[in-house]
Amino acid sequence: MKRSPVVHRLLALFAAGWLLFDFPLLQLWAQRPWLVFALWAVLIGLLAWTMESDEG
């Protein structure tokens, strides 16, 4: 079964979010709390942009 490109993008964003907010890297970001929120906002923005795109 062939998946649409949107599914591949969502899986890639899920993996990126998991890696960015996993314990070892989150420990690095914890020194700068504004960076955690900036990365979180970027991830949410990318998810919204992917879901609202008309390619599908």
Render pLDDT for 1-56 as a digit per residue (tens, 0 to 9).
677 899 999 999 999 999 999 998 889 888 999 999 999 999 999 999 999 987 65
Q: How far is CA 16 from CA 1, 2, 45, 49, in A?
A: 24, 22, 13, 16
Q: At CA 14, angle to CA 31 and CA 8, rounded to 5?
A: 145
The count of residues in the chain is: 56
pLDDT at 47: 96
Q: Whole-angstrom distance between the N-terminal and C-terminal Cα of the chain?
A: 15
Q: What is the DSSP letter of 21?
A: T
pLDDT at 40: 95
Spans of all domains in the chain: 7-52
